[in-house]
Amino acid sequence: MRRTVFNEDHEAFRQTIRAFIEAEVSPHFQEWFDAGMVPREFYYKLADLGVFGINVDEEYGGAGIDSHKFEAIQSEETARAGVNFGGSGVHVLLGLPYIKALATDEQKQRYLPKFVSGEEMWALAMTEPGTGSDLAGMKSTAKLSEDGTHYVLNGAKTFITGGVHADRVIVCARTAPPREDDRRFGISLLAVDTSLEGYSVGRKLDKVGLRTSDTAELAFSDVKVPVEDLLGEENRGFYYLGQNLPSERWGIAYGAYAQAAAAVRFAKEYTQQRTVFGKEVASFQNTKFELAACQAKVDAAQAVADRALEALDEGELTAAEAASAKLFCTEIAAEVIDRCLQLHGGYGFINEYPIARLYTDNRVNRIYGGTNEVMKTIIAKDMGL
């Protein structure tokens, strides 16, 4: 479909990312897949490429560009190649918005240069065992010390993407009990240095998909977090989380669309190369119809993802619009990838084929960032239902 979201600068960046993937990612990806994570030094290569600093102000070593379109291109190009950049996505898509919106000038001076250089990789720790999407029910606590110099952090988190390699984690914890009329009150955000005593990384979780993305359990035992690492105002953390959820959900929606587009590409190439009964699989009417139907769905998902991208860049993407984009694109991707795997036959079930990895990687899109059932609730509420 004709697109208007990208200009010549974006397309030049696309070629740079594509060349980088061909040289630095694809030759090693199977090794990373088997290991269950990318090596830590890979993030320095991404930093040298400049991808961590695109949306960071120039005074901190970034490019000073206020746009998510470069992130969108990365999603498209990694999906196209059947690879990913490990847990680095949360560093930019989840970590950076909180720093930009909440950090003081002093904090930005400490955080952002290391963020851009890859010296400090960031992650976001919200989910706890037993809470899931009910963030207001979190049990982790951060009590202010008597002398007011630090918080004492205790608790545990799970499903933390980038948790193994993270050097600093934005931890959501209770600094005050909830109010009777507001369960969300009392949560604060702390930018925790992972080298602090009492901070520990538990299991690296063995996931069905996204195997190169390090996802971990975290534990905090009397971790002394300096008050200088409080992000934003105390007790307003839930509000801040809500402010950033639309961009997170856009990222999931866009990634899902990109995966669906890649699945069609993989299926088309495979069926043109594979022969059955002396004929290319692509020559059979069923194959043509299946691919055509999938392409039409990808076109629709692309339009939704691009519209959400434009709204996000303009600062106008609402919670309901982001929920709608996530719901639509992830459901479409699930259907398209499943149908494209079917066209691969038995080989679609073998991990050396990118369609198999797409199939498992895609499944979590309907779960994280808020389940699709939660998305429906948000949309219904916006409809006045």
Catalytic residue ranges: 248
User: Could you tell me the two tokens for 368?
Assistant: 């994280």
CA 323 to centroid of chain Cα atoms: 15
Neighbours of 191 (CB within 10 A): 24
Rounded Cα–Cα distance for residues 377 and 355 (Å): 31
Phi, psi of 135 (to 5 degrees): -65, -30
Rounded Cα–Cα distance for residues 65 and 58 (Å): 9
Rounded Cα–Cα distance for residues 64 and 88 (Å): 19
User: Could you tell me the two tokens for 315?
Assistant: 């600062």
Question: How many residues comprise the chain?
Answer: 385
- 3-state secondary structure at position 318: coil
Rounded Cα–Cα distance for residues 102 and 265 (Å): 41
Cβ-proximal residues to 310 (8 Å cutoff; 6+ apart), any chain: 5
Instruction: Output the CA angle 378-66-89, nearest 5 degrees.
Output: 65
Rounded Cα–Cα distance for residues 331 and 174 (Å): 34
